[in-house]
Structure 1
Amino acid sequence: MCVSCAWGKPAKPHPLEFCENGAKATSWEVTNRRADRAFFAAHTLTELETWPDHDLEEQGRLTHPMRWDAETDKYVPVNWQDAFEEIGRELRAMPPEKVDFYTSGRASLETAYMYQLFARIFGSNHLPDSSNMCHESTSVALPESIGASIGTAILSDFQNCDCIFYLAQNVGTSSPRMLHDLQDAVSRGVKIVTFNPLHEPGLQHFVNPQMPGQMLTGKDTPISSEYYQVKNGGDIAALFGVCKALIEADDALKASGTSKVAGTDAIPDDPSDAGTVAFAAAMAAADKKHVLDHDFIRQHTAGFEEFAAAARKYDWAELERVSGLTRAQMQQAASTYANSNAVLMVYGMGLTQHVMGVQNVHMVVNLALLRGNIGKPGANICAVRGHSNVQGQRTVGITEKPGLVPLDKLATLYQFQPPEWIGHTTVETCKAILQGEARAFVSLGGNFLRAIPETVAMENAWRNLRLTVQIATKLNRSHVIHGEIAYVLPCLGRIEIDEQATGPQAVSVESSVAHFHGSRGRAKPASPELLSEPAIIAGMARATLTKGVVPWDRWVDDYSTIRDAIEQTYPETFKDFNKRMFHPGGIPRPLPARERKWVTRNGKANFITPDRLFPEFSLGAQSDDVLHLATLRSNDQFNTTIYGFSDRYRGVEGTRRVVFVNTADIARLGFSNGEAVDLVTAIDPETERRVSGFTIMAYDLPEGCCCAYYPEANPLFPLDHHDTKAKTPSYKLLPVRLVRSGVAPAH
């Protein structure tokens, strides 16, 4: 299974299932470069701190377990068993509530299950992971709306839909394999309605490398039939506009006597409104009795009347101002939606990494519920995840919320009393480190210091940790900045052959579309000194734990026994796990909402009405010079991994320190295209947050907005700038000012 994105693998994949992201991730992992003993002997960590992130990872695969030596300021080789024993001694000397066990998104289901069990037997529920920083808004919002913690879509929905609403996700950069599904849908006549601030090439057209005709002629497939450039943070207003158009057209049909449905007592404030009347007339001409699916709403939902009243109440002028779209655009999107029978809702981190991320997701569900577009073929919610198993790790217990884990089963199976207190999210882990409350940080993959907000303060506080342990394949920023005792423990990659006592092992992952897949490594390991992730976790657990009855050695010898344990813990989700793990297309995860069974408190799918269109920021008396920043990935990176300095989709070469700005804003603010500027955070004035040496690049995006790359712009983001419920950092919306380099901001 691909080590890059989490997109699903079909039962019958293309003959050459090529994806640029996957190819880069694979070559990055099987590189012949080595960060070996000689490399670390030649460089102090103080020196390595000055290296660009790209250059650190460019050194290649880690080959030996290493421990920081304070006298020489270098990583020096260490014996595996000695490393485990010291880590165990240090952990046993600490209260469990002062130890955080972080997880990035690539570890297998087997590894993640062992890791959360290790943490809980140790006594900690501090299990923050990368999903806290990306789709936690989904994990909070969807259970409230439809009783599912993940999206309900599967790959066949792309074959059964007749319309796709595509929101705030750049397929070309983040999940190129999905382009095959979008292209196939377009070829069937499916309309793709896109909402995105930037015109992204992957959402406009696609030349398929597996179609010789397209490659030879350059003929491409148009992707989006309608493309709406919504402002950064304007998604709720845009979706409210679409919903308002649908509801008022339905009201107008009722008022005209065309429809006699119950449950919509209100009519538009202005029944003579031309747009609404035209929409309703078109529906009537098409012999539509109503616009909304009233049978579905009545039978399956709650909260419709409150939501519909809020939609009717909003003024079109306000919706236009906040969304950046015209009324005609929102009504056109509504018309396309109303004339479709099965609409697939696809969204990404542009909605979730937001101070109103949970409410953004609620709005996507609200739009789907209006016409019953959940729980039927082709009509579902597709939350596009990033890392290749970030969703699956949550499924097997990587969560700070003990209520989401069957603690009673863990207690019975492994004879210990699991902690029941709520652990740290990623943001709370950062706060604990900043406040000196955390003493140890164990990381299963990832580049934590580059992924989080509040970069400068966090790097300084990181050095005060007593113990930092990094399980990794390559060197990164989070390794060269370290605690008092620091270990880098190199592991096998998923692509490599994992030979254990019972032979070569397989692992499993969960895709974005809720299917479990088996994966076997095929490449020779980068070093004979490498251990597998399960073996490293078992080694730390044996050296640390004094309670619990866990067959760590047997699990490492034979990973199928870990899968048996996962099935024992989650019998309904993982029925016959070992028997089915290599089933073509994967094992579908049971999702009651796909069958219109709503596991919510009231047993209904819920319309949940956002309390406002846009967040309130404290910007001072003068805010005309404030732009709303969103961070982006280039096509030459994956999350915090920077493969190179080319973003050919956006015409950027040789640098990542650029800020994309609308041409009119450049002129209005008195700058020029190509000018060097600093970006300064426009909120929280007590502490100046600034990134320097960025070049202005004129770009086609809405006025009042700007964009810059992640993680270069991360130092601008205050730690408290996040969704209030999900605590997901708001990387897609931050007020900033542009100032000439070296000049203090005027406000």
Structure 2
Amino acid sequence: MGKSSRQTARMRHHPDAYPNASGGWGSVKAVARILVQERSVLRDAKILPRQNKPDGFMCVSCSWAKPAHPHTFEFCENGAKATAWDTTSKRADRAFFAKHTVSELLGWHDHDLEEAGRLTEPMRYDVASDRLVPVSWDEAFAAIGAQLRALDPDSVVFYTSGRASLETAYMLQLFARMYGTNNMPDSSNMCHESTSVGLTQAIGVGVGTIGLDDFEHTDLMFFFGHNVGTNSPRMLHQLQDARKRGVPIITFNPLREPGLLSFANPQSPRDMLLPGDTQISTQYHQVRPGGDSAALVGLCKAVLEAHDSALASGGSEVLDTAFIREHTVGFEDFAQYLRETDWAEIILVSGLSRAAIESAALVYMQSNAVIAHYGMGLTQHRLGVQNVRMLCNLLFLRGNIGKPGAGPSPVRGHSNVQGQRTVGITEKPELAPLDQLARQFDFEPPRKAGFNTVEAFEAMIDGRVRAVVNLGGNLVRSVPDRARIEAAWRGLQLNVNIATKLNRSHLEHGKDAWLLPCLSRIEIDRSGGREQYVSMEDSTARFHGSRGVAEPASPDIRSEPFILAGLAKATLGERSTADWGAWSEDYTRVRAEIAKTWPEMFHDMETRMWTPGGFVRPLPARERKWKTQSGKAEFQVPETLNEDPDMPQSEPGALRLMTLRADGQFNTTIYNHDDRFRGVRGSRMVLLMNGDDMKARDIDTGDRLTLQTISTDGVVRQVAGLAAMPYDVPRGCLAGYYPECNPLLPLWHCAKQSKVPAAKSIPVRVVAVDKNTGSAGDTFRADTGAPQHT
């Protein structure tokens, strides 16, 4: 099972990689395929209509908003895949683990590990048999608690992915702080921490300010570094409606992505049965990876030049000078910087012409209410925080924040990654209500800063971290510097993994390793003898309730709150004043404590969480109230336009690699080996290259390449066996899949201030070209021609 899918894999590239609109029949076929694959066609046909409904469950995939008036089928292709993946009839049970040793499973592909099915009972690693063997819940809690008590709290890391509910996240942060540490890295550290830092500095709140209602009032939308068709397809409904109203959409993205080009709504009979589709982007600018700050500076410079020119000729102001004067600081310094910055530098770094940038700026100047959507293409850079600040600068110039239809819109990934931060998951003590928690639970929380994700793994490598409690993550695959990380992970004293399915992090075990299976959010939670429900926050800062609708995969799996309560009781004992047992049996008690901790935000939570469309988190910036150091929105002068000032740039033939995701995956979960939007079939070991770059290096389609990171730290980082494929990427740039290319990303190559791994701009060199494309069962095959998207 494990290797067969790899041995028979084939990959092909169509001359017109994906000629159709996103959505449409391609989406319908993909949903049908995953339902059959997971043997869940009939069951999920009843479950899917409850997805993202007010009385149903919140999607376990992306965190896009849940509308007050949902469609009949309020799920997208990716959401259906995630649901089928969780509700599969396949099981990784005790018979499965009796059959396969851990050493054998380590040779399986990541897809095949999760495809084995749902975990069914607690397991621990047995050295003698090299197997995961069943244990009781009581045994697991007692043994783990004893080991945690024997460790220095600062040597333990509590990691959580964004799938955890508000209730689970609140319990985890309290457990960790009562234990004695702020070591709470999370998936936000990997993606949107640059947003949390940058927006907080600029506008005083670390989340976006727009809601679904703003789509009805906007007259322009920007997209920067976000592939909506793959990462948040439900958003395409709002984009399609806006385009039908004539709202322009301007995209800055290195690759031309089908989801940002056109869309056919699979829920619309007209779109499905008649020719034609909705054009999404009205302008599409292929900025170079790492050129985002330069492009944003160019937009701002064009606006300022138009303003100066208008004033000189007696025309009307282009800038919103009233907003700038009343609500901002730092404008004059920023304006001086813009006037002094040469267009030649902007063009060189961004990879865009002055005319292209000015064409986008012209539409911006003609618009009164503008939303700026962005994703990890803006945040996963060395200057990720600066990119966010430059985006805010652009919005400030024309007062595009704090009014209907305008504002920054960071599009998050995991379904509750924003919410877990809201209820205290943070390594930064200054961001947590420690004084309130101290009063509420009669203990003294630790005041020392904890580790974020990068810092946690740096500490793991040098031996300061001895144990990890891992809630939902596949860390050895998701983090950079894989070779160094896997070795450090195997050196841990203790691994505790709470998960629904098997992944690589459960197999790269330390001295003592435990695997604790949990319910999916989709499943009915009957903890305490009655049905429980949970809550989460979406990307637009709305809170929603979620009820499970499917029967649990096994009678021996438990909810995340139950598992955390069991671990906390076993570890803390009488030190804890929290009633963990009562909380695990009645989640209304947890929500009551959340409301005590943040009364302004969560008052009357029990009833408000079922409000159609969710209840709104207080966001002062929406009302033009600025909780910044200056008390106003703050312009920033950029440090530099050079994306990687501390990485070698002058090596002849150097290329810049960005990692990306396929439509057949969600983060490290690989549903299949295909990427239909990019014309890839059967393999993910693919390198998308500019055709001119291939020609200059005598690289043909299908040649196997070895890439090596360009750095000066003395560590050799390389990935071999990547099949070259011509694609419409900017000259001098490459694109490869995440997490396969993670070994090329140094742990220290991360965003300044936020420490988000800079996965969208990695300097690399091609060190080997193998013209032998492999065996018959693992051959890259391209259709005739050397196609490029147009």
TM-score where L is the length of structure 2: 0.89
Q: How far apart, in 1, do the equivalents of 2:767 and 2:153 lie?
A: 45
1:604 aligned residue (611, 632, 641)? 632
2:655 aligned residue (627, 631, 643)? 627
More displaced stretch, 659-668 vs 106-115: 659-668
2:194 is the counterpart of 1:137: yes
2:245 is the counterpart of 1:188: yes
2:492 aligned residue (452, 465, 473)? 465
Q: How far did residue 500 of structure 1 move?
A: 2.1
Q: Is the 8 A contact 1:693 1:741 kept in 2?
A: no
2:767 aligned residue (712, 718, 739)? 739
Q: Deviations over 1:14-69 (max 9, x none)?
A: 11223000000000000000000001111111111111100100000000100100
Q: Which residue of 2 aligns with 1:443?
A: 470
Q: Is the 8 A contact 1:673 1:697 kept in 2?
A: yes
Q: Look up the equivalent residue of 1:395 and give its one-letter code.
A: T
2:321 aligned residue (283, 288, 294)? 294
Q: How far did residue 470 of structure 1 move?
A: 0.1
Q: Look up the equivalent residue of 1:426 and give its one-letter code.
A: T
Q: Which residue of 2 aligns with 1:640?
A: 668
Q: How far apart, in 2, do the equivalents of 1:5 and 1:465 lie?
A: 32
Q: 1:629 is paired with a residue of what secondary structure?
A: strand
Q: Which residue of 2 aligns with 1:214?
A: 271
Q: 1:653 is paired with a residue of what secondary structure?
A: coil
Q: How far apart, in 2, do the equivalents of 1:491 and 1:256 lie?
A: 67
Q: Is the 8 A contact 2:527 2:562 kept in 1?
A: no
Q: How far apart, in 2, do the equivalents of 1:18 and 1:53 lie?
A: 25
Q: How far apart, in 2, do the equivalents of 1:510 and 1:333 lie?
A: 33
Q: How far did residue 502 of structure 1 move?
A: 5.1
Q: 1:105 is paired with a residue of what secondary structure?
A: coil
Q: Which residue of 2 aligns with 1:177?
A: 234
1:700 aligned residue (728, 733, 752)? 728
Q: How far apart, in 1, do the equivalents of 2:209 and 2:257 lie?
A: 26
Q: Is the 8 A contact 2:699 2:769 kept in 1?
A: no
1:515 aligned residue (542, 549, 563)? 542
Q: Is the 8 A contact 1:207 1:218 kept in 2?
A: no
Q: How far did residue 92 of structure 1 move?
A: 0.3
Q: Which residue of 2 aligns with 1:83?
A: 140
Q: How far apart, in 2, do the equivalents of 1:366 and 1:673 lie?
A: 42
Q: How far did residue 441 of structure 1 move?
A: 0.3
Q: How far apart, in 1, do the equivalents of 2:488 and 2:719 lie?
A: 19
Identity of aligned residues (%): 57
More displaced stretch, 652-661 vs 675-684: 675-684
Gaps of 5+ in 2: 1-57, 772-790
Q: 2:356 is paired with a residue of what secondary structure?
A: helix
2:716 is the counterpart of 1:691: no
Q: Deviations over 1:413-472 (max 9, x none)?
A: 111110000000000110111001111100111101111001011101111100000000
Q: Deviations over 1:468-493 (max 9, x none)?
A: 00000000000011110100000000
Q: How far did residue 670 of structure 1 move?
A: 2.5
Q: Is the 8 A contact 2:703 2:770 kept in 1?
A: no
Q: Is the 8 A contact 1:45 1:480 kept in 2?
A: yes
Q: How far apart, in 1, do the equivalents of 2:729 and 2:650 lie?
A: 23
Q: How far did residue 684 of structure 1 move?
A: 2.8
Q: Look up the equivalent residue of 2:464 and give its one-letter code.
A: E
2:256 is the counterpart of 1:229: no
2:372 is the counterpart of 1:345: yes
Q: Deviations over 1:303-325 (max 9, x none)?
A: 00111111111111111111011
Q: How does 1:315-326 map to 2 (within 5 A)?
A: 315-326=342-353
Q: How far apart, in 1, do the equivalents of 2:275 and 2:589 lie?
A: 50
2:150 is the counterpart of 1:122: no
Q: How does 1:9-408 map to 2 (within 5 A)?
A: 9-258=66-315, 289-408=316-435
Q: Look up the equivalent residue of 1:589 and give its one-letter code.
A: R
Q: Is the 8 A contact 1:213 1:219 kept in 2?
A: no
Q: Is the 8 A contact 2:704 2:770 kept in 1?
A: no
1:456 aligned residue (483, 490, 499)? 483
Q: How far did residue 615 of structure 1 move?
A: 2.7
2:533 aligned residue (494, 506, 509)? 506
How large is the Cα RMSD of the aligned pairs? 1.1
Q: 1:408 is paired with a residue of what secondary structure?
A: helix
TM-score where L is the length of structure 1: 0.94
- The total of aligned residue pairs comes to 713
Q: Is the 8 A contact 1:463 1:483 kept in 2?
A: yes
Q: Which residue of 2 aligns with 1:266?
A: none
2:602 aligned residue (563, 574, 580)? 574
Q: How far apart, in 1, do the equivalents of 2:607 and 2:761 lie?
A: 45
Q: Is the 8 A contact 1:451 1:640 kept in 2?
A: yes
Q: Look up the equivalent residue of 1:602 and give its one-letter code.
A: S
Q: How does 1:536-685 map to 2 (within 5 A)?
A: 536-546=563-573, 547-617=575-645, 623-684=651-712
Q: How far apart, in 2, do the equivalents of 1:433 and 1:715 lie?
A: 17
2:748 aligned residue (710, 715, 720)? 720
Q: Look up the equivalent residue of 2:380 and give its one-letter code.
A: Q
Gaps of 5+ in 1: 259-288
Q: Which residue of 2 aligns with 1:532?
A: 559
Q: Deviations over 1:54-90 (max 9, x none)?
A: 0100000000100100111100000100100000000
Q: Is the 8 A contact 1:617 1:683 kept in 2?
A: no
Q: How far apart, in 2, do the equivalents of 1:419 and 1:683 lie?
A: 37
Q: 2:468 is paired with a residue of what secondary structure?
A: strand
Q: How far apart, in 1, do the equivalents of 2:537 and 2:77 lie?
A: 21
Q: 2:80 is paired with a residue of what secondary structure?
A: helix
Q: How far apart, in 2, do the equivalents of 1:685 and 1:422 lie?
A: 27
Q: Which residue of 1 aligns with 2:739?
A: 711
